[in-house]
Amino acid sequence: MTSLKQRLSSLTGHRTLVLHPDFCGLEAFMQSLPERFAAGEGTVVYKGRNELRRMACGDYDLVVKSFHRPNVVNRFVYGVFRPSKAKRSYEHACMYLHIGVGTPRPVGYLNVRRGLLFDRSYYVTLMSTCPHVYNDLFYQKFDYADEVVRAVGHTTGILHEHGYAHKDYGRGNILFQQTADGIKIEIVDLNRMYVGPIDLKRGCKNFERLPATPHMHRLLAEEYAAVRGFDAEECYRLMRAYRSTQPGKIDGLY
């Protein structure tokens, strides 16, 4: 059992590192992430509320996500009570891989605090080999587009069967690649996840942020229903209905 002294040490410690056993050699790199970001190291992949940078360490091609610093109230909440977004991302990625759902391979995470106040957190994965995102289906020609859509429906069904639903299941968070073994799907941005029973309606509603033509919805519904043991026609009807409620949508796509 953890002693009170150990718990207080954990709460007030400056940095907390969790590293996947396969990447023990990256401990020094992980510990130095705040300094590397401050120095502008790496190539910026995305910069907004959070920031993603591509970095190299030895033979590893890595993606590092730096989560923004919360407001003062949440800095205390995350510092004492709630797991950081980086920790949740890492744990959810491990859960995904455990049930056979693709996501970039998790390397580890680093939490930084100042006293009892949470400061920042960093989540690190290997760089995905998938060159495309779901949204590319509307801007590029893919001879295997139907296979991709079916793979998304199938993968989502597996997640829901295990009681996991991505809370930001949008067009930019599903990666894909055609391989000799079929379509490879990887899901990213995993810090927000529903965990619990997922019935027909909740499951179909989880697709509402994905743009889709009627044909695409038909493919999604068929694959999803096959995994879940649901009626495909009912899945199709619900997916179309939930998608229609999304603001800013044009012709069933946006």
* pLDDT at residue 3 tops 70: no
- Side-by-side strand order, sheet with 132-133: 132-133, 174-179, 182-187
State the pLDDT at residue 15. 84
Architecture field, domain 4-126: 2-Layer Sandwich (3.30)
* pLDDT at residue 109 tops 90: yes
Domain ranges of the chain: 4-126, 132-244
* DSSP alpha helix (H) spans, 123-210: 145-161, 200-205
Angle, CA 148 vertex, CA 146 and CA 150 arms, to 5°: 70
Q: What is the CATH topology of the domain spanning 132-244?
A: Transferase(Phosphotransferase); domain 1 (1.10.510)
Across residues 8-30, what is the average pLDDT?
81
**33-87 tens-digit pLDDT:** 999 999 999 999 989 889 999 999 999 999 999 997 654 445 445 444 467 899 9
**190-221 tens-digit pLDDT:** 999 999 999 999 999 999 999 999 999 999 99
